[in-house]
Amino acid sequence: MKKLGILLALMLFSIAGQAQVEVDAEGFETFKMQEGDTTYLMKKYFLVFLKRGTERSQDQAEALKIQTAHLAHMDSLANIGQLDLAGPMGDDTDLRGIVVLRVPTMEAAEACVKADPAVRANRLSYEIHPWWAAVGSKLR
């Protein structure tokens, strides 16, 4: 329930424009949000929706080669600290996966995604959205 409160408060801050957004030493936008006696440091990340691309006619060997290169790209982003979370969807729809990028700008997020071999091969397309989360948030 506390997480729902955080989400609602964040939405109110976004709508009202009351949050004092600052840029940290690494170039990331942040702001502090008070929830009861707890202060959260909110940070802007970029949420990427990987979707089924327009070019899905590759044979099995080529598709495997592209997928292997895609996973290597994701691994390289994680190794340099630009990828915080990634994974495939659990169903067979046009939405193929989600990625959370830890980069300071939309342009940096675009560069990460456009360098993905699966995106370059048009096997995947994408949408990128700015996304705020409390620093230190994690899945349970």
User: Domain extents for the chain?
Assistant: 2-134
In this prediction, residue 139 carries a pLDDT of: 85
Looking at domain 2-134, its CATH superfamily turns out to be Dimeric alpha+beta barrel (3.30.70.1060)
Residues of the chain with pLDDT under 70: 1-18
In this prediction, residue 94 carries a pLDDT of: 97
The secondary structure of 50-117 as a DSSP string is EEE-S-----HHHHHHHHHHHHHHHHHHHHTT-EEEEEE-SSSSSEEEEEEE--SSHHHHHHHHHT-H
In this prediction, residue 16 carries a pLDDT of: 39
For 7, counting Cβ atoms within 10 Å of its Cβ (0-12 exposed, 13-18 middle, 19+ buried), the class is exposed
Q: Can you read off the two tokens belonging to residue 17? A: 């424009």
pTM of the predicted protein model: 0.85
- CA 116 vs. chain centroid, Å, equals 14
